[in-house]
Amino acid sequence: MTDTIVSSATREVVIGFDRPFVMIGERINPTGRKLLAAEMKDGDFSRVEADAIAQVAAGAHMLDVNAGIPLADEPALLARAVKLVQTVTDVPLSIDSSIIEALEAGLAVYQGKPLVNSVTGEDEVMERVLPLVARHGAAVVAISNDETGISEDPDVRFAVAKRIVERAADHGIPAADVVVDPLVMPIGAMGTAGQQAFRLIRRLRDELHVNTTCGASNVSFGLPNRHAVTGTFLTMAIASGMTSAIMNPLHTEVKTAVMAADVLSGADRDCMAWIAANRDPDAPAGEGGRRERRRRRPAAS
């Protein structure tokens, strides 16, 4: 059992084995969103606010917040976004930047225990990010690449993840506060991307006993009907042991897939969340009751 506990000022979320999968909303990220990037740079955060509210309404348990805009003051923008999102929602945040000063600015204003996204296995990055994570008592996403890049061999990526977990321990960060990202490649460009990810996720769980996350949308890049591919990737990753993902809960196929995986992993007790989400809103009150009774009958043989 490995529980990664993150929090806002008023709410705790636990990422852990045999618990409901944790959906981390991906939308607050100007990368590839020109309009959002332009608005944030101009000081208009109305879309950040709307995206935060919509993702939580759609079921996000946490939100990733990124303010990576070229030629902008990323530390100031990230701090402002973090503060704003914490005023309009109560879910814990993942503070997302590759710039240490931006992580520092985000952490300085954050209320609670966030996830810091991310540290890699590069020595210089570890030596800058891990002391910051330790000082703030945060949890951290560990990306399994190092100075040599991203290996195609899942066993090499496992070794990188193991090194980050060990280095984190040197800084006083327990393994339970390191959430490993196996790095998922687009399956359309690399046919072994799924098998690599599933194998690595399983080893990370069985041998390193850590929680895992990933940016899920990347796997379906360039394919038609891509949300179905992303949703299926998530269910297969959950079957392999993955415990959270940065994803878009507004895509129905993706969210439904995760909810069904919670049913099948046994994390959705008595299928309560599934039944509530799939109850026909137009049905009379008696209908939902009938459905709930029906599911308790034994199966026809």
Query: Could you say whether residue 273 binds a second copy (CB under 8 A)?
Result: no
Write down the least CB distance from residue 35 to a second copy, Å: 17
> With binding defined as CB under 8 A, does residue 115 bind a second copy?
no
Minimum CB distance to a second copy, residue 257 (Å): 6
Q: Which part of the chain contacts a second copy (CB under 8 A), choosing from 21-29, 86-94, 139-147, 219-227?
A: 219-227
Q: Is 272 in the site for a second copy (CB under 8 A)?
A: no
Question: Contact between 1 and a second copy (CB under 8 A)?
Answer: no
From the CB of 295, what's the least distance to a second copy, in Å? 3
Using CB under 8 A, which of 5, 54, 239, 250 touches a second copy?
A: 239
Pair of tokens at residue 128: 């800058």
Q: Is 233 in the site for a second copy (CB under 8 A)?
A: yes
**With respect to a second copy, which residue has the nearer C-beta, 35 or 300?**
300
Encoded amino acid at 259, one letter: M
Site string for a second copy, 42-61 (x = CB under 8 A): --------------------
231 closest CA partner among 260, 203, 274: 260
Is the CB of 135 or the CB of 269 nearer to a second copy? 269
- Choices 1-9, 58-66, 160-168, 225-233; region in contact with a second copy by CB under 8 A: 225-233
Q: State which residue, 5 or 239, has the beta carbon closest to a second copy.
A: 239
Nearest to 218 by CA among 189, 252, 251: 189
Using the rule CB under 8 A, is 212 a contact of a second copy?
no
Query: Does 34 sit near a second copy (CB under 8 A)?
Result: no
Query: Does residue 280 interact with a second copy by CB under 8 A?
Result: yes
The answer to whether 134 and 173 have CB atoms below 8 angstroms apart is yes
Distance, CA of 67 to CA of 69 (rounded, Å): 6
Choosing from 109, 134, 208, 271, the residue that interacts with a second copy (CB under 8 A) is 271
Residue 279 binding a second copy, by CB under 8 A: yes
Owner of token pair 């194998």: 199
257 is an interface residue for a second copy by CB under 8 A: yes
Provide the binding-site residues for a second copy, judged by CB under 8 A. Answer: 31-32, 185-189, 191-192, 194-195, 198, 218-219, 221-225, 228-229, 231-233, 235-240, 256-257, 260-261, 263-266, 269-271, 274-275, 278-280, 291, 294-300
